[in-house]
Chain A
Amino acid sequence: MLRQLSLAVVLLTAASVHSDEINIAVAANFAAPMRKIAAEFEKDSGHTIVASFGSTGKFYAQIRAGAPFEVLLAADEETPVRLEKEGDGVAGSRFTYAVGRLVLWSRKEGFVDAKGAVLGRNDFQHLALPNPRLAPYGAAGIQTLQALGLLDRLRSKFVTAENINQTYQFVASGNAELGFVALSQVYREGRIAEGSGWIVPPKLHEPIRQDALLLTRGKSSSGSAALLNYLRGDKARSIIKSYGYEL
């Protein structure tokens, strides 16, 4: 009896001690799946997630400047590699949590055909994409156009956005007729939920590997480690896949 009681006390204190608040920096394209994963994770683990969504480049600068993030879910693999090398990430903690898919999307039904032939027609003013210097999805868009031999012809129609969410905003508001966005932004329950889109075949661009990294500030937090483990688990993986990512 006494033994059982003391065990319960130990378990209770353990639970309260390990209920962490985890500050994480998340790539803008992963916002929707992350909200869902965070809700599940909080329910399952008792930890609380405080997530900031934004561009990976900005997070890099902020983390270098001492921002209080414990985990980074980047939009690329270069940034986590760099942070790990520069000592802001925990060595060996890096892994690919999702492989992004690119989609050429328009909010107009039937505007983008299933083969992306719309790119060759000249009936649009603006093609939106995230700034290729900053965002891997932008770079993938450029590679796709290059592979199709259309880059030079379409360059004058580019409007480049600061990140993938702003690109979506340009297209969703109709100011740009079409644009390269992340499939996760328009994909729900196995299909493109609204408008029309061409899911770009992966062979047309380098794979968009998105890596997670445990940051030095999160080294001693059990919550951060638990979250990274959770991301590799079946529950999280099936959520990630449901937004059109590959794994």
Chain B
Amino acid sequence: MLNPVDLAAVWLTLKLAGTATAVLLLLGTPLAWWLARTRHWAKGVIGALVTLPLVLPPTVLGFYLLVLMGPDGIFGRLLAAGGLQPLPFTFAGLVVASVIYSMPFVVQPLQQAFEAIGEQPLEAAATLRANPWDTFFAVVLPLARPGFMTAGILGFAHTVGEFGVVLMIGGNIPDKTQVLSMAIYNHVEALEYEAAHRLAAGMLAFSFTVLLLLNALKPERLR
């Protein structure tokens, strides 16, 4: 039903979203924990920075990434100094962009989940001489599970739906940066509406299923 190029785009999108979600959960968990527990003055600043991609047009982010990660940009030069390739037009570049872009969708549900736990369970764990790691894995993780589920699903879905940033820094290379949203866009632009429909309808069904799943995960249903 799908041609090989479209199929490759679907596969690449899943790979990108999977990788980005894994990185997001790894980075987002300590960040959300810190934001949930700290009284540090920088909390507001860091919180605002994390939330920024929520309100910025993706093209702004994509444009700055293209400039900053390019050969003249600060990050481009740092990478070059470390003997690495510039990030635009690479899969790694898309992962970096996706992690920045989807960060608020992972950090916010985690932060809320951590805040909802409150002090009591942690104090109880401490009186039982649990060290912080034990506490985290035995108390926090199970209590915050719905938060992790929501964060993971939202991060994954948001990366699948990403378009503006990829358009700016992707370069539309099959198997490397040509993700699903780009493939749909190309079909529409080339007036291949039928092929566009096939992918777009799949995307619609996917998004709807994700939201349905999220509703099913709401805490009141768990009880």
Contact = CB atoms under 8 A, between A and B. Distances in A.
A20 to B, nearest CB: 30
Contact of B191 (A60, A126, A169, A176): A60
Contacts of A33: none
A55 B189 contact: yes
Interface string B50-76: 000000000000000011001110000
B171 A57 contact: no
Interface string A126-169: 10100101100000000000000000000000111110001001
B152 to A, nearest CB: 31
A38 to B, nearest CB: 25
A158 B176 CA distance: 11
Given A173-B67, A175-B66, A162 B189 contact: yes
B180 to A, nearest CB: 16
A162 B187 CA distance: 12
Contacts of A169: 66
Contacts of B167: 162, 166
Contacts, number: 57
B211 interface: no
A124 to B, nearest CB: 12
B188 A61 contact: yes
A127 to B, nearest CB: 10
Interface in B143-192: 167, 171-173, 185-186, 188-191
B89 interface: yes
B104 interface: no
A57 B196 CA distance: 14
B172 A160 contact: yes
A57 B66 contact: no
A175 B186 contact: no
Contacts of A55: 189
A3 interface: no
Contact of A170 (B72, B85, B171, B186): B171
Centre residue among B66, B186, B189 by max chain A CB count within 10 A: B189
Nearest to A169: B66
B109 interface: no
A220 to B, nearest CB: 28
A159 B190 contact: no
A58 interface: yes
B66 A58 contact: no
Given A60-B191, A133-B190, A160 B72 contact: no
Given A174-B70, A175-B66, A58 B189 contact: yes
B88 interface: yes
A108 to B, nearest CB: 10
Nearest to B190: A133
A169 B172 CA distance: 14
Contacts of A173: 66-67, 70, 72
Contact of A159 (B85, B89, B189): B89
A175 B89 contact: yes
Contacts of A133: 186, 189-190
A161 B172 contact: yes
B171 A126 contact: yes
Contacts of B85: 125
A111 to B, nearest CB: 13
Interface string B181-223: 0000110111100000000000000000000000000000000
Contact of B171 (A58, A60, A61, A160): A160
Contacts of B71: 174-175
Contacts of A134: 186, 189-190
Interface of B: 66-67, 70-72, 85-86, 88-89, 167, 171-173, 185-186, 188-191
29 contacts: A55-B189, A57-B188, A57-B189, A60-B191, A61-B188, A61-B189, A61-B191, A125-B85, A126-B89, A128-B171, A131-B172, A131-B186, A131-B189, A134-B186, A158-B171, A160-B172, A161-B171, A162-B185, A162-B189, A169-B66, A170-B171, A173-B70, A174-B70, A174-B71, A174-B72, A175-B88, A175-B89, A176-B89, A176-B171
Interface of A: 55, 57-58, 60-61, 125-126, 128, 131, 133-134, 158-162, 166, 169-170, 173-176
- In the A-B complex, the 6 residue pairs with the closest CB atoms: A159-B171, A57-B189, A174-B71, A160-B172, A175-B88, A175-B70
